[in-house]
Amino acid sequence: MHRRKTKRIMVGNVPVGGDSPITVQSMTNTITKDVPSTVNQIKELEREGCHIIRAAITDLDDAKAIREIKKHINIPFIADIQFDYKLAIAAAENGADCLRINPGNIGSLQKVKEVVKCCKERSIPIRIGVNSGSIKKEYLEKYNGVNAHSIVYSALEQVRLLEDMDFTEIKISLKASDVSLTIEAYEKMSQMVDYPLHLGVTEAGPKLRGIVKSAIGIGTLLSKGIGDTIRVSLTGDPIEEVRVGREILRSLGLLEEGVDIISCPTCGRTKIKLIKLVEEAEDKLKDIKRPLKVAIMGCPVNGPGEAREADIGIAGGDGVGIIFKKGKVIKKVKEEFLIEELMKEIDNL
Ligand code: SF4
């Protein structure tokens, strides 16, 4: 897969764009100024493999809380600001690693200049985000409503505003809740600028629907080499957003960390409690950060062969199972000890 070349920016200590790995983001849903809750949630998200976190900054207390929050977390913190330029400045002064703000919403040019000056002094990038619901009226009129043109040109106006102030530490998001529109808008934008793109399908919806929409929208773009950082938006626990985001990257071979579990769908040949084994293995393997492919297959006939690309795997028989490495059987184990033995073998790899 050929990845589109973009400018590399730094969000705290995490590079975004250029050749850097594609990162997974999420957003907290705690009250930001409730520091213990916000820190707890961010730490949980970190453990799940979230690379960058964003939080809503709704007032000065939220902005001030960033300083304390940052003492306890290890991933970069993006301050999400709606309209108030003073909050943007306060967030930057209190240690935000990036601002998510639309210059067009801030008001006068002078206010935008002040925010930009503050970001420049601290080398903080700005993420411009246009949602299909926040397109300026003039673009809706000019391009006949909500479509890729109105989204892209609305965002470009914001980009140019920053460029005119000699500010280019920019990343862009163009979200719509319609998957095809999201894809079209990002494709169009990727041909027009080389700033890193933050991918997401907005208001994707409740869990299953949100997962499918995000996987198709984000996955399609990534498979075309478009996108430098992603966020899956789900109505639910942000932990799920991170899990899904990571799986999207993993399924496209874009995540070089953690365990990839390959498991069969089971069929009439399965004589082992495969679903339980997979759940058990998933739980035990989740803290392994190095890249590893583990197969858990239902039968020894097709198992090792179908999962030849796995580094290690198990294939169930009747009351027993085999452990295999790179398609070669290494031992036979009773069903109840299969996972334990698998973990031992993984430790020795
Ligand atoms: Fe069925 Fe074996 Fe294939 Fe699993 S690996 S689906 S048990 S044939």
Q: Tell me, using a 6 A CB cutoff, whether residue 266 lines ligand 1.
A: yes
Q: Tell me, using a 6 A CB cutoff, whether residue 299 lines ligand 1.
A: yes
* Residue ID of nearest Cα to ligand 1 atom 8: 302
Q: Which pLDDT tens digit goes with each residue over 61-75? A: 999 999 999 999 999
131 φ, ψ (degrees, to nearest 5): -105, 155
CA 285 to centroid of ligand 1, rounded, Å: 22
CA-based max dimension of the chain? 74
Q: Tell me, using a 6 A CB cutoff, whether residue 297 lines ligand 1.
A: yes
Beta strand pairing status for 320-325 and 98-100? unpaired
Distance CA 204, CA 226 (A): 19
pLDDT at 48: 92
CA 302 to centroid of ligand 1, rounded, Å: 6
Distance CA 57, CA 185 (A): 27
Distance CA 127, CA 73 (A): 21
Look at residue 265 and give its three-state secondary structure.
Answer: coil
CA 329 to centroid of ligand 1, rounded, Å: 17
CA 321 to centroid of ligand 1, rounded, Å: 13
Distance CA 210, CA 197 (A): 20
Q: Give me Rg for the CA atoms of the chain.
A: 23
pLDDT at 171: 97
> Tokens 């246009």 belong to which residue?
130
Ranges of the chain whose pLDDT falls below 50: none
Q: Tell me, using a 6 A CB cutoff, whether residue 253 lines ligand 1.
A: no
* Residue ID of nearest Cα to ligand 1 atom 1: 267
CA 322 to centroid of ligand 1, rounded, Å: 14
Determine the atom of ligand 1 nearest the C-alpha atom of 316.
Answer: 7
pLDDT at 303: 72
Q: Tell me, using a 6 A CB cutoff, whether residue 318 lines ligand 1.
A: no
Q: Tell me, using a 6 A CB cutoff, whether residue 242 lines ligand 1.
A: no
Q: Which helix (H) or strand (E) holds 207?
A: helix 207-223
Q: Give the number of residues written for the chain.
A: 349
Determine the atom of ligand 1 nearest the C-alpha atom of 265.
Answer: 6
C-alpha angle 34/39/43, rounded to 5°?
155
pLDDT at 327: 77
Side-chain-side CA neighbours of 4 within 13 Å: the count stands at 23
